[in-house]
Structure 1
Amino acid sequence: MAGGNGDTPRELFLIDGNSLAYRAFFALPESIATSDGRPTNAIFGFASMLVKILTDFGQVPTVVVWDAGLSGRKEISADYKAQRSSRPDLLKLQWPHLQPLVEAFGYSNVSVEGFEADDVIAALTEQAKERGVPVMVVTGDRDAYQLVDDGVRIMSTSRGVTDTKVYDRQAVIDRYGIPPELVPDFIGLKGDTSDNIPGVPGIGDKTAADLLQKFGDLEGVLSSIDQVTGAKRKQNLIDHADNARMSKLLATMVRDVPVDIDLEVEFTKTPDRTRLRQVFRDWELRDPLRRLEEALAEAELEAIPRPTDLEKVEVKTGLARTPGDITRLKGEFLSLAILPPEVPEGELIPREPKWRFAAYAGGNIALSGEIDSPADVVAAVGDRAVIAHDAKALTEVPANLVFDTAIAAYLLDPARRGYPLEELTEERGISAEAGDALATRAVLTHELAKVQRPLILERGLQDLLDTVELPLVKVLRETEKAGIKLDTKQLETVATRIKAQVVELEREIWALADEEFMIGSPQQLGQILFEKLGLSRKRRGKTGFSTDNRVLEAIKDEHEIVEKIIRYRELSKLAQTYLDALPNWIGEDGRLHTTLEQTTAATGRLSSINPNLQNIPIRTETGREIRACFIPEPGNVLLAVDYGQVELRVLAHIADEPVLKDIFRRGEDVHTETASRVFELPPEQLDVGMRSKAKMVNYGIVYGLSAYGLADRLKIPQKEAEDFINTYLERFPAVAQFMKDSITQAVEHGYVSTLFGRRRPIPEVRASNWSVRKLGERLAANSIIQGTAADIIKIAMVRSHNALAEAGLQTRTILQIHDELLFEGPPEEMEQATEIVTREMVGAIAMDPPLEVDAGVGPNWLAAK
């Protein structure tokens, strides 16, 4: 049986499908899933192993063998494999897709009714040996080592999915101290708990190997018991001799299974590259796909025809003399790509800065050229329907933006790390050839949109895209360009005082420790707290006992040094993150221009980077001082408008909880009223601690806080926290039902949806691991509430921005922070601006109970709160 290397036959790979699938499933996190919630950890691991074989060995003939019975071993022992539980639910969902994956690789799936995969593999190995074909058996089962022979090797996956080791005859001897043919005797003596094979009590790997080395085989051992050392061992061998023989029989592979497969045909099979890539894309196996492409590119095999790659979009490029030339491009949608000026090496700024642009409309030509400003292209586009990838990065957002492929990718798969165009198109099998890289980008954007648009429609995301996300792009860009002014002198004053406090705290901490050490070093801090001072050790980390803030909060009453360390950390972080860093971000116009990221948080929330202004604390005195440093331009004031308890109102509305609705309608304090119901006391008899507990539970329900988390934050026993949560759910039964329904939706569909249709995949909720599953259950309700709140603030931002512009006011949006919008404008406009923004934010969605906002005007951000 010739292969591709002259007279040397290529190695036949025989894979134990069940062994590899189970190993992949249990080795990888159950949270691995597609963007629409389908679990993929077993598929991911299985595919990764097949890609590894392709990468390491090239295109080799491969057969994947599956269990279809127990080969009569139940008749030998009723206990054989009896301890094995049924297939986990998440694995059941993936199981039907494993064999089609194998077929896409061009490999064969084989099973023989009534027989285990091990025995079928043994029979195929014998057939191959008879024909002089070398064999590589891929399995995680130890009993397969008995097959190792001249020309037969084992690739063991027992250390992980792709962390493998290849065993030949000598490697088996080196590992177990016995040759491969004695593996059944070895298991006969020591047993195999994974298959419920009993063996002989008290005999492990080393003793079994020693006995076989001395007496030859199992029968030799049993006939020489009088020469075995140790009274207990002798007695066990006498008492369990029959078990040993039965165990050897159970471990011995059947090599005459009636399996009919044409090995000659297996050597001619090749992968269907198009189908294989599509399978990987359908299951969103991004990293395995990247490695697959590398392997396919390197697989140059004789006598195996290579199918042609995907057809590429051939693009002719033309140079545009003016942006107006893009009117020559005919097509329903115009895709745009714009890049900032390139700075020549050695120059800080280009001498004649020119932006580059490209436009494409679905024909065979993409125009590209240079412009002075992105606004030139946007103006030339006019009312043409525009598609772009990350339109906000164009710096000038087209008025008629109808599709953004980055945002579409985010809505389809909100859990990705990023949405680079090249990666997205490669995964979808989209490619293009053009003489100009920017023109190629315009083409790829156009082609990607054609793939995404039906998916957006199919998953019910069209309205969210059209009415929330796309209108927001222009608002965010204008908000970023507006920026916010910083009083650097005031900030410097705050910084000087804070740094002095840090130095003083450092001195006090060293004095209490009676030595100087690096307070920022967890190892050195742990040595001081737990070894020198003997404080309680809570959680062990990789490098010693944890010194994180949760641990410090738990032990702060044990020594006064702990409270000072907590304060030191807080002030040091504020100094590094804001006091030192913020002035470096000020632009030429004297204002900070943060980037508001639209495609980062899986819940739909906006985030802020370069600098991050969303994490400036408001509850600490120092945080409030920092906020006071954000000011308007001279002659202006700031308007801050903040939703009041928006998540709890969303919860009341979605859960249709009459008790919560009534509290909000009456304008009562929701935390006091909650405490009153949970503790069964009138509001006037509640103490501060009771209200704090109720507040923590109210928001704990929203943010998915567990009883353990509640106990940790309130410093109460976990049982008390559990009782408190259970009592809360009894008092608010509709909330309890909503949480159950959320979990049901996540389990059935793999995702949950907000009121606006935004999807959040939650594969964790289907996990067999208890802690992972509980995390998924908490995420289910949390994602619906937070995601809906995120949608609301986005809608409010667009409505407020547009309404202020329509009213002809100079007041403009300058920042969005969580549930708060910040505006800047002339004092004389504030009454009207407040009225407009309040109206638009409250009207973002009709809810019961209705939304409410708090508005304030002031000479700085703190004063406006």
Structure 2
Amino acid sequence: MDKLLLIDGNSIMNRAFYGLPLLTNAEGRYTNAVYGFLNILLKTMEEEAATHLVVSFDLKGPTFRHELFADYKGTRKGMPEELREQMPLVKEVLGAMDVSICEQEGLEADDLIGSLAESFYSQGMEVTILTGDRDLLQLAKDRVKVSIPKTKAGGTTLEHYRWEDVVEKIGVTPPEYVEVKGLMGDPSDNIPGIPGVGEKTAVKVIRQWHSIENAYAHLEELPKRFANLLQEHYEQAVLSKRLAAIVVDHDPGIALGDCKLDTLFTPEAHKWFSRLEFKSLMDRFPVQEGNRMQEGAFLSSRRLTVCESLDAMDLEGAGSPLHYHWIREPEEDYFLWCGDGDAVRLLAVRNPEREAFHAKLRGLLCNQAVEKRTVELKEQLHRLDLELDAGNKSVLDLGLAFYIIDPNRSGYSIAEMAQTFLQKAHGTEEGLLGKGKSRIAYGDLPAEDRAAHLANSLEVLMDISPLLLKKLEEVEGLTLYYDMELPLVSVLKSMETQGIQVDAEVLQAYSAHLAVMIGEVESEIHALAGGPFNINSPKQLGTVLFENLGLPTAKRTKTGYSTAIEVLEKLRPVHPIAGKIITYRQLAKLKSTYADGLFPYIREDGRIHSTFNQQIAATGRISSTEPNLQNIPIRMEIGREIRKAFIPAPGHVFVDADYSQIELRLLAHLSKDPNFILAFREGLDIHSMTASQVFHVPFEEVDKDLRRKAKAVNFGIVYGISDFGLSQDLDIGVYEAKKYIESYFNQYPHVKSFLDRAVEEAKENGFVTTMYGRRRPIPELASSNHIQRSFGERIAMNAPIQGSAADIIKIAMIHVHDRLKKEGFRARLLLQVHDELLVEAPVEEKEAVQALLVREMEHAAALEVPLTVDVQTAANWYDSK
């Protein structure tokens, strides 16, 4: 049987908006409501096996109900601007998906849904109505189901109501439900009802008398209190019923054939999903026509040839540029390549031939006379146990180049490049093979499907590479790619291979020590609370703090009292339990994330091999994952102690080199502020000097407190801090913080001019650049939302500084790595933590390595002020700082 799904657009958009955090795409458009709406729509369609679909929306303006009652919906708050912006957007997306949209001036979505449900029900169809509005329960029938989303245990489920469900769960029939609404009213729509009558009373009366009018005809048989209320407010109750009643005899203007589902995943929809960055939904799109092919068929103008052996793999004679794509499976490799003007060739390589296959690829990558274009170069270097010379500029990693062009994206896959540069869909590997435990291997696919997907992957690379190169040139990113990002690939590969040694016994002892400390703090908290409770339960903790102890500043959430860190910080001066809870959470985090969390990452060689990512941070910074070794705690002393577990190999030491205040030095250089420049050139303590200038005290009289405040101002300025933000950091009034910032800019006017200029240029150009030409697009500056624009302005102030610092440390890493190799050192670079480099060196090399690090890091960039480096040697990472 055909089934119609009717969706209450405004209701489900509202639910999706509040159910997800605010999300924006690279253009700065809010997307969370649209994303949530589409997920709910698609999930419900699949569950209902719908054959027809209509989404109905309210239009702004009065309806016939306003003529009946001028104050109808008069108390309803306006729609948040962030949601309002998404209403026309979701209609655009639904239009691209060929979804029928029903909306009419003067009518509400409820009436259109009711009319559609009645019309299609009468034609013998099954109907499901998806809404968050219980008013639509009056439409339920044997073949009309009303589904209402409910949040339970952190997830969303649907409560389904047919005729019998309404009777069972509400206590009246669906047509009688509007009678109940007439008696009890509806505050959300400002429907008055009868004052003092709630749902329980209304249901009881209607269950017995079935209508307001019939109950009124039997006033003498009603309870006296209710009878008096009904007699006094009878006309208001009847009016309320009319306001709540859904009209089902309108002509919605949609016939059965108009809303029949074909495919929602159209090329136009794919463009919207890609533009809005709905990555998790992209795999629903089918592979485009022409993407299925057999050996001997054509890929555009290129013929696919399946090779039988390595003998056919003449890579260096294939022509330049040579495009290739390499998929590695446990038992088999799939390698595709195409030289300039050549056919696309596919070779499957099994284990016995792998070493010979790898030898051919090593030769290809090291041959600088052949230009190569591919993706995931770092992973390939791992497979081949290869590092490229720093001067080898023969490989273009298209994903890495794409990152330079648009660093704000969340991914740089072949599918995303296909959509961005070719405006066409290309199925992802995850969509083809599945993920997790259900993932299959390429070898399990039918040969035709496997060849089609792999060959089309290579064709995408071939088609986009000239477009991408042109765009890379337009954004002036060629030098950045070939001189910085490409040589850095081999450096990061080396660091990942080296790993860092961990003393498991020290880590275990640290974990045990934390467990003791956690137990002690837990006992102290229970003593202060007057008894034991589950500290990890926000609900129990909220009860203890705000009911048992009666502490102030209670903030309610949907599930109880808020016990977030900002609430606990406010309570810290009020009661000692707040500080103890903060300490408890910090210790528990240290134990679970670091002390215990690092154990699974220790490999058989006793070392942790983190992954260093080039294509994640929009600032250009390198990030570390699995595990994140850049986030090892240093602020708390007990947190810093975990560094004692990180040790050099026997006979080696750690050499740790750290740039001193590089971002402030860059601020001095970029702003050309003479006071700043003079301070750094003369080696003055910059925070003491700022304190002297801003707080008008002699330099020699600056105490620790003034220096602390000046330090907060210095670094706050770099990050575009607001008056309020500085007031929070220093625990002072907003007015006082504003005076600090004004005084700072009076003393350093060139800094103010530089920051203002950065914002203005970003607004004009849409991006900012680092010293080395790295662009950071800032779409937030074009947002209609003030908060988003303010965020964009802070990015514009900070990105040139933070991005330049990231570029300088990358240059230093390349130079240090290259010098260590060329000069025959056995020392190796292990870690980069923002402005810090950690090298493992044989004891006999430590002085030479120290000198090398200082020399290469201090000469990585030529600034108006000196770049200074602090360097230490130690027997563990803790003692190196």
Per the shorter chain, which TM-score range?
0.7 to 0.9
Amino acid corresponding to residue 189 of structure 1 in structure 2: L
User: How many Å separate the matches in 1 of 2:592 and 2:427?
Assistant: 47
User: How many Å separate the matches in 2 of 1:331 and 1:196?
Assistant: 73
Distance of aligned partners of 1:190 and 1:337 in 2 relative to their CA distance in 1, 3 Å threshold: same
Given that 1:337 and 1:439 are in contact with CA atoms closer than 8 Å, whether structure 2 keeps it comes out as no
Q: Are 2:171 and 1:187 aligned?
A: no
Residue 393 of structure 1 corresponds to: 379
Structure 2 counterpart SS, 1:63: strand
Q: What count of residue pairs does the alignment treat as equivalent? A: 815
Given that 1:66 and 1:117 are in contact with CA atoms closer than 8 Å, whether structure 2 keeps it comes out as yes
Alpha-carbon deviations, 1:501-560, whole Å to 9, x = none?
779868987998999x99998579989x989x9898999999999698996998699879
Residue 246 of structure 2 corresponds to: 253
Q: Are 2:439 and 1:446 aligned?
A: no
User: How many Å separate the matches in 1 of 2:780 and 2:817?
Assistant: 37
User: How many Å separate the matches in 1 of 2:706 and 2:180?
Assistant: 65
Alpha-carbon deviations, 1:296-348, whole Å to 9, x = none?
8xxxxxxxxxx975624655432453696223544633324274976xxxxxx
The worse-fitting range, judged by mean Cα deviation, of 563-572 and 45-54 is 563-572
Distance apart, 1:168 and its partner CA: 1.5
Structure 1 counterpart SS, 2:630: coil
* Match 2:706 to one of 690, 694, 703: 690
Distance apart, 1:55 and its partner CA: 0.9
Residue 166 of structure 2 corresponds to: 172
Given that 1:526 and 1:545 are in contact with CA atoms closer than 8 Å, whether structure 2 keeps it comes out as no
The worse-fitting range, judged by mean Cα deviation, of 620-629 and 49-58 is 620-629
Residue 355 of structure 2 corresponds to: 372
Residue 598 of structure 1 corresponds to: 614
User: How many Å separate the matches in 1 of 2:577 and 2:205?
Assistant: 63
Tell me the TM-score normalised to structure 1 length: 0.75
Map 1:460-609 → 2, pairs under 5 A: 460=475, 462-463=477-478, 464-482=480-498, 522=536, 573=590, 577=594, 585=602, 594-601=610-617, 603-608=619-624
* Match 2:291 to one of 311, 334, 340: 311
Given that 1:498 and 1:571 are in contact with CA atoms closer than 8 Å, whether structure 2 keeps it comes out as no
Residue segments in structure 2 that go unaligned for 5+ positions in a row: 295-303, 433-444
Given that 2:723 and 2:741 are in contact with CA atoms closer than 8 Å, whether structure 1 keeps it comes out as no
User: How many Å separate the matches in 2 of 1:535 and 1:196?
Assistant: 36
Distance of aligned partners of 1:520 and 1:99 in 2 relative to their CA distance in 1, 3 Å threshold: closer
Distance of aligned partners of 1:327 and 1:46 in 2 relative to their CA distance in 1, 3 Å threshold: same
Distance apart, 1:181 and its partner CA: 1.9
Distance of aligned partners of 1:510 and 1:792 in 2 relative to their CA distance in 1, 3 Å threshold: closer
Given that 1:810 and 1:825 are in contact with CA atoms closer than 8 Å, whether structure 2 keeps it comes out as yes
* Match 2:103 to one of 101, 111, 129: 111
Residue 350 of structure 1 corresponds to: none
Alpha-carbon deviations, 1:670-705, whole Å to 9, x = none?
322333355443333333233223334544555688
Map 1:619-630 → 2, pairs under 5 A: 623=640, 626=643, 630=647
Distance apart, 1:473 and its partner CA: 0.4
Structure 2 counterpart SS, 1:154: strand
Distance of aligned partners of 1:819 and 1:332 in 2 relative to their CA distance in 1, 3 Å threshold: same
Residue 298 of structure 2 corresponds to: none
Given that 1:616 and 1:627 are in contact with CA atoms closer than 8 Å, whether structure 2 keeps it comes out as no
Given that 1:538 and 1:545 are in contact with CA atoms closer than 8 Å, whether structure 2 keeps it comes out as no
Q: Are 2:30 and 1:15 aligned?
A: no
* Match 2:38 to one of 36, 39, 47: 47
Given that 2:501 and 2:607 are in contact with CA atoms closer than 8 Å, whether structure 1 keeps it comes out as yes
Amino acid corresponding to residue 426 of structure 2 in structure 1: G
* Match 1:64 to one of 55, 59, 63: 55
Residue segments in structure 1 that go unaligned for 5+ positions in a row: 297-306, 343-354
User: How many Å separate the matches in 2 of 1:669 and 1:624?
Assistant: 28
Structure 2 counterpart SS, 1:372: helix
Q: Are 2:278 and 1:285 aligned?
A: yes
Given that 1:657 and 1:732 are in contact with CA atoms closer than 8 Å, whether structure 2 keeps it comes out as no
User: How many Å separate the matches in 2 of 1:614 and 1:558?
Assistant: 35
User: How many Å separate the matches in 1 of 2:533 and 2:151?
Assistant: 39
Structure 1 counterpart SS, 2:831: strand
Distance of aligned partners of 1:168 and 1:570 in 2 relative to their CA distance in 1, 3 Å threshold: closer
Structure 2 counterpart SS, 1:327: coil
User: How many Å separate the matches in 2 of 1:118 and 1:834?
Assistant: 74
The worse-fitting range, judged by mean Cα deviation, of 211-220 and 442-451 is 442-451
Distance of aligned partners of 1:119 and 1:616 in 2 relative to their CA distance in 1, 3 Å threshold: closer
Q: Are 2:223 and 1:229 aligned?
A: yes
Distance apart, 1:669 and its partner CA: 2.0
Distance of aligned partners of 1:559 and 1:92 in 2 relative to their CA distance in 1, 3 Å threshold: closer
Given that 1:401 and 1:470 are in contact with CA atoms closer than 8 Å, whether structure 2 keeps it comes out as no
Residue 790 of structure 1 corresponds to: 806
Distance apart, 1:77 and its partner CA: 2.3
Given that 2:518 and 2:587 are in contact with CA atoms closer than 8 Å, whether structure 1 keeps it comes out as no
Q: Are 2:135 and 1:123 aligned?
A: no
Distance apart, 1:80 and its partner CA: 2.0
Given that 1:675 and 1:693 are in contact with CA atoms closer than 8 Å, whether structure 2 keeps it comes out as yes
Distance apart, 1:819 and its partner CA: 0.3
User: How many Å separate the matches in 1 of 2:67 and 2:601?
Assistant: 77
Tell me the TM-score normalised to structure 2 length: 0.74
Given that 1:502 and 1:568 are in contact with CA atoms closer than 8 Å, whether structure 2 keeps it comes out as no
Residue 817 of structure 1 corresponds to: 833
User: How many Å separate the matches in 1 of 2:239 and 2:169?
Assistant: 24
Amino acid corresponding to residue 246 of structure 2 in structure 1: M
Distance apart, 1:97 and its partner CA: 3.1
Q: Are 2:335 and 1:358 aligned?
A: yes
CA-based RMSD of the aligned residues comes to 5.5
* Match 1:403 to one of 396, 403, 406: 396
User: How many Å separate the matches in 1 of 2:701 and 2:819?
Assistant: 46
User: How many Å separate the matches in 1 of 2:780 and 2:643?
Assistant: 40
Distance apart, 1:713 and its partner CA: 7.2
User: How many Å separate the matches in 2 of 1:624 and 1:405?
Assistant: 41
User: How many Å separate the matches in 2 of 1:858 and 1:592?
Assistant: 21
Structure 2 counterpart SS, 1:614: helix
Structure 1 counterpart SS, 2:486: helix
Given that 1:35 and 1:412 are in contact with CA atoms closer than 8 Å, whether structure 2 keeps it comes out as no
The worse-fitting range, judged by mean Cα deviation, of 253-262 and 426-435 is 426-435
Q: Are 2:322 and 1:333 aligned?
A: yes
* Match 1:726 to one of 731, 738, 743: 738
Larger RCO (CA within 8 A; separation ≥ 6) = 1
Distance of aligned partners of 1:190 and 1:630 in 2 relative to their CA distance in 1, 3 Å threshold: same
Distance of aligned partners of 1:266 and 1:498 in 2 relative to their CA distance in 1, 3 Å threshold: closer
Q: Percent identity?
A: 30
Structure 1 counterpart SS, 2:250: coil
Structure 1 counterpart SS, 2:379: helix
Distance of aligned partners of 1:620 and 1:87 in 2 relative to their CA distance in 1, 3 Å threshold: closer
Distance apart, 1:44 and its partner CA: 0.9
Amino acid corresponding to residue 307 of structure 2 in structure 1: G
Residue 661 of structure 2 corresponds to: 645
Distance apart, 1:747 and its partner CA: 10
